[in-house]
């Protein structure tokens, strides 16, 4: 070995990497504004999640073949890290025997480690083969299929082979003192090299050593300039992940003050993203799992969460020197991101659900919308009308307070202002005031509450939009105005429990109103009704012979993890046969209505999101589509109307339960 050469290589490589890492750090904290870029709250929870998600690789096996291959390579590197450290020590100390007493001397510990190491060398080579097969043969559309990935895989493969060459040569040149049963690969190679001149074996041994050492240092310095930077950044990105509810959007703090100070509302330039958001850009693996599940991408829209992230990262890197110096920047929209990309997002959360390193692309999209809407007024005309309707009439549908109770005609519906103490407040939502299908769901829920003997009431003409639509469009100012007014009203009635039939209302009141001191127990009607059936308060008796496919609302399922109550409720009805779509539960496809899309047309693509989802549900062979969201119900009903070849029922679980109890809406 050559300690001088080893020292020179090590110092040069580490020095170059340190400079690269420092440049990436300076670029990451440009948006910190002099504040600490990260906070260390809930360290225990963050640590447990990091062990589970980052080191345990929880999400990767959602794509089984690629996930298992990645796990093999990841854990292989952890195991071989010990070997790499020992090799550096041997080269630096000019002592080829350093470490043999611990790992390679025929000791029990040495044999166990060597066996594990050889097993993982094989697993890593298999993993490399799998990824080469995926990249060169299968070529899935979701992945970025550039030369970089092939080069990295070849480096990893050559490192594994070099390690075996080093082991085989070392066993001949420096025979272990004890029995070796834990190094099968090196032993087989040593047997094959028996009879070769010692000089030849020495060349092979040295080649294995220097190849391993050189490739480790080369790989280290490639990381900051490639997508494989995630090897370093993914763990901290997972550690500093958002621990708030998945359905919550972070508010713009001190909104009035920011307006007075003429500060940007939302994100206009790349430097206005937070350090955590820039860390997310660094951490993208370009695996494309997000795009593979995105309803906009699946129906041919311009939006690809993966490409959005790559474009932002490329812009960041290309302008690194300017950004660090505080130079002039371009507006992200439209210079870097096409407006059509921004407005195609349904905020369904499928991208964040799938991302193995916990990147939430929709949060950045909403930040860019906030700037377009609140400062430039550049957003689709139909969404402008929806915001105006919320501000003027308290509903995105443009229906005034005087029509809020039209759905309840002929029913015994108590009004909160006239009622005494109640057990629960029924937050009806905007849709039942105008949408005929939603009216029937509200009526069914009210009838079931009465049958169960629940003390309840509605706000009636006092109820207003929660502000969900305004917030997802990007109109944070309007949302906060609606939230504060609603919280004042609810607190005035000393409200404790709220029942909703709309997942969007549920999510906003449950997850976002607490940021404005609105703290309530919020229950979705499928949860409440399932509990009433489970306790025997309501007993479905009449048989309903239907084959039902349940469509998961994104805001009820993926963003709030309420999957079982609607299914439990449906399964309790005699005669109902429940079937599942291929895309269901946390992989259920969006209906296309979220993120303000309910009030605008789809962007240009191959087909409407609602029609693609409707076809998936019909393909199950069910005769009834059941969903527990007014938006989803309207989208599926319209998709059915657009397809004259299909005739399939559209029902809410509450309607089916009422029918089984002998009632009707």
What string of DSSP letters covers 368-385?
HHHHIIIII--S-HHHHH
Determine the Cα angle at 655 with ends 652 and 612, to 5°.
25
Assigned domain for 625 exists:
yes
Q: What is the pLDDT of residues 242-299, one digit of tens each?
A: 999 999 999 999 998 988 888 899 999 999 999 999 999 999 999 999 999 999 999 9
CATH of the domain at 587: 3.40.50
Q: What's the pLDDT score for residue 112? A: 84
Number of DSSP helices (H) and strands (E) in the chain, helices first = 28, 8
**Quick check: 318 and 523 in contact, CB under 8 A?**
no
Query: Nearest to residue 577, comparing CAs of 587, 586, 562, 567?
Result: 567
Choose one of 204, 239, 274: the last residue of a domain: 239
Distance, in Å, from the CA atom of 10 to the CA atom of 7, rounded to the nearest integer, reads 5
Assigned domain for 66 exists:
yes
Tell me the sheet residues that pair with 650. Answer: 625
Average pLDDT estimate for 498-506? 98
- Band of the pLDDT at 33, cuts 50, 70, 90? low
Choose one of 471, 500, 532: the last residue of a domain: 532
What are the CA-CA distances from residue 450 to residues 19, 390, 463, 661, 663 (Å)? 70, 31, 21, 13, 12
Query: Nearest to residue 612, comparing CAs of 586, 587, 585, 642?
Result: 642
Handedness of CA 399, 402, 404, 405 (dihedral sign): negative
- Band of the pLDDT at 97, cuts 50, 70, 90? low
| 277 in the same domain as 353 | yes
Distance, in Å, from the CA atom of 94 to the CA atom of 543, rounded to the nearest integer, reads 83
- Token code pair at residue 65: 């073949």
Q: What's the pLDDT score for residue 111? A: 79
Query: Nearest to residue 566, comparing CAs of 623, 535, 523?
Result: 523
| Residue 590 or 183, more confident | 590
| pLDDT greater than 90 at residue 450 | yes
Most confident of 91-95, 429-433, 566-570: 566-570
Q: What's the pLDDT score for residue 629? A: 97
Assigned domain for 155 exists:
yes
| pLDDT greater than 90 at residue 165 | yes
Q: What's the pLDDT score for residue 467? A: 97
| 138 in the same domain as 23 | yes
| pLDDT greater than 70 at residue 494 | yes
Total domains in the fold of the chain = 4
- Token code pair at residue 250: 């972070």
Q: To the nearest whole percent, how much of the chain has pLDDT over 70?
A: 97
Tell me the sheet residues that pair with 661. Answer: none
| pLDDT greater than 70 at residue 394 | yes
- Band of the pLDDT at 2, cuts 50, 70, 90? confident
Q: What's the pLDDT score for residue 96? A: 59
Q: What is the mean pLDDT of the chain?
A: 92
| 491 in the same domain as 600 | no
Return all residues near 469 (Cβ < 8 A) that are at least 6 apart: 386, 387, 390, 396, 504, 596, 598, 599
Q: Which helix (H) or strand (E) holds 124?
A: helix 108-133
- Band of the pLDDT at 440, cuts 50, 70, 90? very high
CATH of the domain at 305: 1.10.1060
Assigned domain for 245 exists:
no
| 631 in the same domain as 555 | yes
**Quick check: 489 and 518 in contact, CB under 8 A?**
no
Distance, in Å, from the CA atom of 303 to the CA atom of 364, rounded to the nearest integer, reads 13
Query: Where does residue 616 rank: exposed (0-12), middle (13-18), buried (19+ CB within 10 A)?
Result: middle
Q: What's the pLDDT score for residue 37? A: 83
Choose one of 489, 506, 532: the last residue of a domain: 532
| 270 in the same domain as 212 | no
| 112 in the same domain as 68 | yes
Q: What's the pLDDT score for residue 505? A: 98
| 212 in the same domain as 142 | yes
- Band of the pLDDT at 101, cuts 50, 70, 90? very low
| 555 in the same domain as 518 | no
Q: What's the pLDDT score for residue 341? A: 97
Give the residue numbers spanning the domain of 375. 255-379
| 635 in the same domain as 611 | yes
Q: To the nearest whole percent, how much of the chain has pLDDT over 90?
A: 80
| Residue 180 or 84, more confident | 84
Assigned domain for 244 exists:
no
Q: What's the pLDDT score for residue 99? A: 55
| pLDDT greater than 80 at residue 150 | yes
Query: Nearest to residue 653, comparing CAs of 539, 530, 496, 534?
Result: 530
Peptide bond into 608 cis (omega under 30): no
CATH of the domain at 198: 1.20.950
Residue listed under structure tokens 């001397």: 105
Q: What is the DSSP track for 438-477?
A: HHHHHHHHHHHHHHTT--EEB-GGG----SHHHHHHT-HH
| 199 in the same domain as 259 | no
| Residue 235 or 82, more confident | 235
Q: Return the SS3 of 488.
A: helix
Assigned domain for 203 exists:
yes
Assigned domain for 246 exists:
no
Phi, psi of 391 (to 5 degrees): -70, -40
Of the listed ranges 132-146, 305-319, 575-589, the least confidently predicted one is 132-146
Determine the Cα angle at 595 with ends 334 and 617, to 5°.
120
Query: Nearest to residue 472, comparing CAs of 495, 441, 503?
Result: 503
Q: What's the pLDDT score for residue 145? A: 86
**Quick check: 239 and 47 in contact, CB under 8 A?**
yes
Farthest CA pair distance, the chain: 101
Q: What's the pLDDT score for residue 4? A: 84
Average pLDDT estimate for 367-384? 95
Assigned domain for 212 exists:
yes
| pLDDT greater than 60 at residue 102 | no
E strands, 588-653, are: 624-627, 649-651
What pTM did the predictor assign?
0.92
Phi, psi of 581 (to 5 degrees): -75, 160
| 186 in the same domain as 327 | no
- Token code pair at residue 15: 């020095």
| 215 in the same domain as 66 | yes
| pLDDT greater than 70 at residue 104 | no
């Amino acid at each position: 070995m050559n300690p001088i050469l080893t020292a020179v290589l090590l110092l040069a490589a580490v020095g170059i990497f340190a400079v690269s890492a420092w440049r990436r750090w300076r670029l990451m904290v440009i948006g910190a504004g002099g504040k600490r870029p990260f906070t260390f709250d809930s360290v225990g929870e963050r640590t447990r999640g990091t062990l589970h998600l980052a080191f345990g690789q929880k999400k990767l096996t959602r794509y089984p073949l690629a996930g298992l291959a990645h796990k093999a390579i990841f854990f292989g590197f952890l195991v071989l890290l010990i070997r790499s450290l020992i090799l550096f020590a041997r080269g630096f100390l000019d002592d080829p025997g350093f470490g043999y007493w611990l790992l390679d001397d025929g000791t029990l510990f040495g044999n166990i480690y060597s066996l594990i190491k050889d097993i993982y060398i094989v697993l890593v080579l298999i993993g490399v083969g799998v990824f080469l097969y995926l990249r060169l043969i299968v070529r899935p559309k979701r992945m970025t299929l550039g030369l970089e990935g092939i080069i990295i895989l070849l480096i990893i493969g050559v490192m594994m082979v070099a390690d075996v060459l080093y082991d085989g040569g070392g066993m001949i040149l420096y025979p272990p003192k004890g029995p070796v049963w834990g190094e099968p690969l090196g032993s087989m190679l040593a047997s094959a090299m028996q009879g070769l001149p010692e000089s030849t074996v020495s060349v092979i041994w040295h080649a294995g050593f220097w190849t391993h050492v050189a490739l480790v240092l080369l790989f280290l310095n490639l990381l900051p300039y490639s997508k494989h930077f995630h090897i370093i950044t993914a763990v901290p990105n997972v550690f500093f992940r958002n621990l708030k509810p998945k359905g919550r959007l972070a508010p713009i703090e001190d909104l009035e003050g920011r307006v007075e100070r003429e500060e940007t509302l939302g994100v206009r330039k790349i430097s206005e993203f937070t350090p955590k958001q820039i860390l997310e850009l660094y951490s993208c693996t370009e695996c494309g799992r997000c795009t593979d599940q995105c309803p906009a991408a699946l129906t041919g829209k311009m939006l690809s969460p993966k490409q959005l992230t790559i474009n932002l990262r490329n812009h960041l890197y290309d302008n690194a020197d300017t950004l660090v110096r505080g130079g002039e920047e371009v507006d992200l929209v439209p210079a870097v991101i096409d407006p059509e990309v921004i407005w195609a997002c349904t905020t369904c959360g499928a991208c964040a659900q799938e991302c193995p390193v916990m990147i939430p692309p929709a949060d950045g999209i909403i930040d860019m919308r906030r700037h377009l809407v609140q400062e430039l007024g550049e957003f689709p005309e139909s969404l402008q009308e929806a915001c105006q309707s919320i501000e003027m009439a308290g509903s995105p549908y443009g229906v005034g307070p005087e029509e809020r109770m039209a759905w309840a005609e002929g029913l015994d519906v108590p009004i909160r202002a006239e009622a005494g103490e109640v057990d629960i407040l029924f937050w009806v939502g905007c849709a039942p005031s105008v949408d005929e299908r939603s009216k029937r769901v509200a009526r069914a829920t009210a009838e079931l509450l009465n049958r169960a003997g629940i003390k309840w009431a509605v706000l009636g003409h006092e109820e207003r939009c929660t502000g969900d639509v305004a917030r997802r469009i990007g109109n944070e100012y309007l949302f906060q105005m609606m939230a504060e007014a609603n919280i004042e009203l609810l607190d005035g009635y000393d409200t404790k429990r709220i029942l909703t039939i709309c997942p969007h209302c549920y999510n906003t009141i449950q997850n976002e109103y607490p940021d404005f001191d609105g703290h309530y127990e919020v229950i979705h009607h499928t949860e409440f009704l399932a509990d009433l059936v489970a306790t025997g308060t309501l007993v479905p008796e009449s048989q309903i012979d239907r084959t039902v496919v349940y469509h998961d609302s994104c805001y009820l399922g993926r963003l709030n993890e309420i999957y079982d109550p609607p299914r439990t409720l449906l399964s309790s009805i005699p005669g109902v046969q429940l079937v599942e779509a291929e895309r269901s539960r946390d992989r259920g496809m969006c209906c296309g209505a979220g993120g303000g899309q309910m009030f605008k047309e789809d962007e240009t693509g191959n087909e409407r999101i609602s029609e693609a989802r409707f076809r998936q549900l019909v393909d199950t062979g069910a005769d009834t589509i059941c969903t527990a969201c007014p938006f989803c119900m309207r989208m599926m009903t319209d998709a059915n109307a657009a397809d004259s070849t299909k005739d399939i029922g559209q029902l809410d679980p509450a309607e089916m339960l009422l029918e089984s109890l002998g009632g009707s809406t």
